[in-house]
Structure 1
Amino acid sequence: MASPSSRYDLTGRTALVTGAGGLLGRQHVAALAEAGARVVVTDVGLAQAETAVASLKQAEPSSDLMALEINVTSLDSVRTAHERLAGRGVTVDILVNNAAIDPKVTSAPGVMHSSRFEAFPVPQWQTEIAVGLTGPMLCAQVFGGEMARRGRGVVLNIASDLGVIAPDQRLYRQPNVSREEEQPVKPVTYSVIKHGLIGLTKYLATYWADHGVRVNAISPGGVFNNQDPAFVERLTRLIPMGRMAEVDEYRAAVQFLCSDASSYMTGQNLVMDGGRSVW
Structure 2
Amino acid sequence: MNDPLFDLDGRVAVVTGGFGLLGSELSAALLDRGMRVAVVDLRETPHHHADELMGAVERGVVRHHAADVTDRAAVEGVLAAVEQEWGVPHLLVNAAAIDAPPGAPAAEVGPFEDVPLGAIERVVDVNVLGTLVPCQVIGAAMARERRGSIVNVASVYGMVSPDQSLYDFRREQGEVFVKPVAYAASKSAVLNLTRYLATYWGGSGVRVNTITPHGIVDGQPEPFVEAFARRSPLGRLMEAREAVGAVVFLASDASSYVTGANIVVDGGWTAW
TM-score by length of 2: 0.91
Whether 1:79 aligns to 2:81 is no
Whether 1:55 aligns to 2:54 is no
Once the two structures are superposed, what CA deviation does each residue of 1:167-193 show, in whole Å capped at 9, x if it has no partner?
01111122143xxxx630111111111
Amino acid across the alignment from 1:201: T
Secondary structure at 1:200 match in 2: helix
Whether 1:157 aligns to 2:152 is yes
Alignment match, 1:231: 224
Secondary structure at 2:217 match in 1: coil
Q: Report the Cα distance in structure 2 between the residues aligned to 1:133 and 1:75, rounded to whole angstroms.
A: 13
Amino acid across the alignment from 1:255: V
Which piece of structure 1 moves more, 182-191 or 154-163? 182-191
Aligned 1:27-42 pairs, distance under 5 A = 27-42=25-40
Q: Which residue, 20, 41, 44 being the options, matches 2:18?
A: 20
Q: Report the Cα distance in structure 1 between the residues aligned to 2:83 and 2:110, rounded to whole angstroms.
A: 42
Which piece of structure 1 moves more, 118-127 or 203-212? 118-127
Q: Which residue, 3, 10, 16 being the options, matches 1:5?
A: 3
Once the two structures are superposed, what CA deviation does each residue of 1:201-249 show, in whole Å capped at 9, x if it has no partner?
0000000011000000000011122211111111111111111112211
Which piece of structure 1 moves more, 267-276 or 76-85? 76-85
**RMSD (Å), alpha carbons:** 2.4
> Cα offset for 1:96?
0.4
Percentage of matched positions with identical amino acids: 39
Which piece of structure 1 moves more, 77-86 or 252-261? 77-86
Q: Which residue, 232, 248, 260 being the options, matches 2:253?
A: 260
Whether 1:64 aligns to 2:57 is no
Q: Report the Cα distance in structure 2 between the residues aligned to 1:86 and 1:113, rounded to whole angstroms.
A: 40
Whether 1:95 aligns to 2:92 is yes
Which piece of structure 1 moves more, 258-267 or 98-107? 98-107
Q: Report the Cα distance in structure 1 between the residues aligned to 2:187 and 2:159, rounded to whole angstroms.
A: 8
> Cα offset for 1:102?
2.3
Q: Is the 8 A contact 1:105 1:186 kept in 2?
A: no
Secondary structure at 2:240 match in 1: coil
Q: Report the Cα distance in structure 1 between the residues aligned to 2:78 and 2:10, rounded to whole angstroms.
A: 20
Q: Is the 8 A contact 1:238 1:276 kept in 2?
A: yes
Q: Report the Cα distance in structure 2 between the residues aligned to 1:263 and 1:170, rounded to whole angstroms.
A: 40
Secondary structure at 1:83 match in 2: helix
Q: Is the alpha carbon distance of 1:73 and 1:115 closer, same or farther for their aligned partners in structure 2, counting shifts above 3 Å?
A: farther
Q: Report the Cα distance in structure 2 between the residues aligned to 1:261 and 1:12, rounded to whole angstroms.
A: 16
Q: Report the Cα distance in structure 2 between the residues aligned to 1:54 and 1:106, rounded to whole angstroms.
A: 25
Whether 1:104 aligns to 2:104 is no
Q: Report the Cα distance in structure 1 between the residues aligned to 2:48 and 2:137, rounded to whole angstroms.
A: 24
Whether 1:207 aligns to 2:203 is no
Q: Is the alpha carbon distance of 1:41 and 1:53 closer, same or farther for their aligned partners in structure 2, counting shifts above 3 Å?
A: farther
Alignment match, 2:182: 189
Alignment match, 1:137: 132
Q: Report the Cα distance in structure 1 between the residues aligned to 2:135 and 2:86, rounded to whole angstroms.
A: 20
Aligned pairs, number? 269
Q: Is the 8 A contact 2:38 2:82 kept in 1?
A: no
> Cα offset for 1:118?
1.6
TM-score by length of 1: 0.88
Alignment match, 1:147: 142
> Cα offset for 1:105?
4.7
